[in-house]
Structure 1
Amino acid sequence: MNAGAVLAQVAAVFVWLGMVLGISFLEAPLKFRAEGITVPLGLGIGRIVFRALNRVEAVLAAIAAVALAWEVPGPAALGLGAGAVAMLLVQLLVVRPSLNRRTAAVLAGESGPRSRAHLRYVALEVVKALCLAGCGAALVLERL
């Protein structure tokens, strides 16, 4: 067993999970409750924060993938890790472009119907968080 690869797997998965939980489920909803934050201001902040989060997520996903390939875990950890990466890819390639267009329109002062893309993003975020938690737990339990 390659202890360095196992440590990288567990660290990447749990750091990634912590970032998703902290940003998506804590910072994002709370920012709109802060005094003086308007929808356009919140969306502008959110665009910057989520762009940064998604970049870090991509790096952590790459680290986890390399570590998982180096020291292949059991099927549960591997499947859940792949599920988390799949959710991230769908978010980045399918949902984010729609969210970016809607955010740009709101920031430009345009009005229109609310986008359902946000709900899809949140649903994918919940599934991704569950995949990461399960993957991390499986990685740890395999080593006990």
Structure 2
Amino acid sequence: MNAGVSAAVAAVFVWLGMVLAISFLEAPLKFRAPGVTLPIGLGIGRLVFRALNGCEAVLAAVVLVGMIVARPSTAAIVAFGVALGALVIQLAAVRPALVRRSNTVLAGGSGGSGRSRSRIHYAYVGLEAVKVLALLATGILLLTW
């Protein structure tokens, strides 16, 4: 395995672990902690997801450079493209809508439906699931290439 593939594999699995830990573990659990109100939970979520998305962008760049150097299989490139596409959609369209909704809730409005999740929240979670599957496929394809 050359250095490009090694760097890409490492970045893919770090990225995958971060998404799994934050999106599917921390995010749902924070609202169950004693004393965490909706405004506090939203504030924490905004900070955590802003940091996660920044890390994801850096890791995506590492994977991209590693793939340019290594020239892996077309399947690995396509799988990475799916993960990258999901991230771009989240950053460009979904996350800004979630920020607007949380601004409304934090300002005292209901954000559309009070404590329930919005459709845009489900879109973000769906894209996270797509990203998890695509990153897993990317990592496996790079390891077996």
User: What's 1:116 paired with?
Assistant: 119
The one-letter code matched in structure 2 to 1:32 is: F
User: What's 1:125 paired with?
Assistant: 128
Q: Provide the C-alpha distance between the structure 2 equivalents of 1:140 and 1:126, rounded to a whole number of angstroms.
A: 21
CA contact (8 A) 2:101 2:111 kept: no
Alignment root-mean-square deviation, CA:
1.0
- Name structure 1 gaps, 5 residues minimum: none
Deviation at 1:112, TM superposition (A): 4.0
Q: Give 4+ residue runs of structure 1 displaced > 3 Å after superposition.
A: none
Aligned pairs, number? 141
The one-letter code matched in structure 1 to 2:143 is: V
The one-letter code matched in structure 2 to 1:122 is: V
TM-score normalised by the chain length of structure 2: 0.94
The equivalences for 1:61-140 within 5 A come to 61-114=60-113, 115-140=118-143
Deviation at 1:75, TM superposition (A): 1.4
Give the stretch that moved more between structures: 74-83 or 46-55: 74-83
- Name structure 2 gaps, 5 residues minimum: none
Q: Deviations over 1:2-28 (max 9, x none)?
A: x11111010010000000001000000
Give the stretch that moved more between structures: 109-118 or 128-137: 109-118
Deviation at 1:111, TM superposition (A): 1.9
Q: Secondary structure at the match of 1:43?
A: helix
TM-score normalised by the chain length of structure 1: 0.95
